[in-house]
Amino acid sequence: MTASNRRSNRVNDLDLSNWQQYDDLLTDSLWLLDARDSSGAHQAGYHGNFIPQIPNQLLRRFTKAGDVVLDPFAGSGTTAIEANRLGRRYIGVELSPTVAVQAEQHIRQDRMVLFDNGAAPGPNLDASPFDEQPIIVGDSSSDAVAREVQKRLDGMGKSGVQFLIMHPPYHNIINFSSDPADLSNCPDVEHFLERFLEVYRSLSEFLEPGRHLAVVIGDIYQNSEWVPLQSLLTARMLESKKLRLKSIIVKNMVNNRAKRNQEHLWRYRALANGFYIFKHEYIVLFQKLGRRRS
Ligand SMILES: C[S@@+](CC[C@H](N)C(=O)[O-])C[C@H]1O[C@@H](n2cnc3c(N)ncnc32)[C@H](O)[C@@H]1O
């Protein structure tokens, strides 16, 4: 195939003239994923981390090699590892210094495993001193973090980021720390939504128009009521008039061992109290509106 026959898309590296080769790329809005990818340094150990297949699928569809991915709730570094493997640049933000250090260890470990297996480094590996410590420690809604993101982009010679992935706490279902800036410590749902929007408003400024933003979020159950966090957040984000809603993906949740042990109890509660047990979460995909800079 000659270069001129190759049909491509502005936001990824897929060869659309040969689209049948990508049979592992999901295109349906229902994602039924079985086992967690546990290759390299990926681990299920961090309570609340998502499975690596989520960032892998999204980065392959919505970024190109060398693009910058911004991850304001970096956690254990799942997205960073996938970004590295795919040759994308990465900037993460994590409130907890301990969690950020552990994430950077995972990222280094994963690179070592890749090199041991003879994999070629992606274009971003060792390209900038920031790639060695890609996680900014701080509150993602703060001006200090926004300034640091800008500094890192300047250091990479980039004017913006090409993908924003947001995986916040699902309000208070997991308590990540005692820090008042932690979104899992918001006293109620309204505060949680407002704090999330602060992060979105501050960091979406770095996203290039025409590029994509994904929010990974689940609904919660509080005071005998289903609270549709995903719908509430999606509606509030669209009020900004800066985004186009592209997809709402429903992804299955596979219970870990601790939850499996409690399954009978939950089934009894569901039958007794008239509700259904959560087995899914959402990936909400938006595109930023506005003119692209040429
Ligand atoms: C659901 S976890 C993200 C997990 C991540 N996707 C992974 O796979 O490891 C949410 C993370 O957001 C962090 N966090 C909470 N509030 C924050 C804030 N204001 N700024 C930055 N990080 C915050 C928590 O410490 C937690 O690690």
> What are the structural domain ranges in the chain?
28-34+43-288
Token digits of residue 188 = 């109620």
Where b means 16+ CB within 10 Å and e means fewer, 167-189 reads bbbbbbeeebeeeeebbbbbeeb
- What are the respective helix, strand and coil percentages of the chain, to the nearest 5? 40, 20, 45
- 128, with CB counted inside 10 A (0-12, 13-18, 19+), is middle
User: What is the architecture, at CATH level 2, of domain 28-34+43-288?
Assistant: 3-Layer(aba) Sandwich (3.40)
**209 in Cβ contact with 290 (< 8 Å):** yes
- Tally helices (H) and strands (E) across the chain: 9, 10
Residue with CA at minimum distance from ligand 1 atom 19? 139
Residue 196, ligand 1, Cβ within 6 A: no
- Intra-chain end-to-end CA distance of the chain, in Å: 28
0.75 exceeded by the pTM? yes
Cα–ligand 1 centroid distance for 273 (angstroms): 32
In the DSSP assignment, the letter for residue 63 is -
DSSP 8-class letter at 281: E
Probe target for ligand 1 pocket from 101, 182, 192, 197, with the most ligand atoms within 8 Å of CB: 182
Close Cβ partners of 190 (under 8 Å, ≥ 6 residues apart): none
pLDDT tens for 59-92 read: 999 999 999 999 999 999 999 999 999 999 999 9
Per-residue pLDDT of the chain (294 residues; tens, 9 = 90+): 555 577 778 999 999 999 999 999 999 999 999 888 888 889 888 888 999 999 999 999 999 999 999 999 999 999 999 999 999 999 999 999 999 999 999 998 998 877 666 665 554 454 454 577 899 999 999 999 999 999 999 999 999 999 999 999 999 999 999 999 999 999 999 999 999 999 999 999 999 999 999 999 999 999 999 999 999 999 999 999 999 999 999 999 976 666 667 888 889 999 999 999 999 999 999 999 997 655
> In the numeric block, which tokens belong to residue 174?
């997991």
Separation of 167 CA from ligand 1 center, angstroms?
7
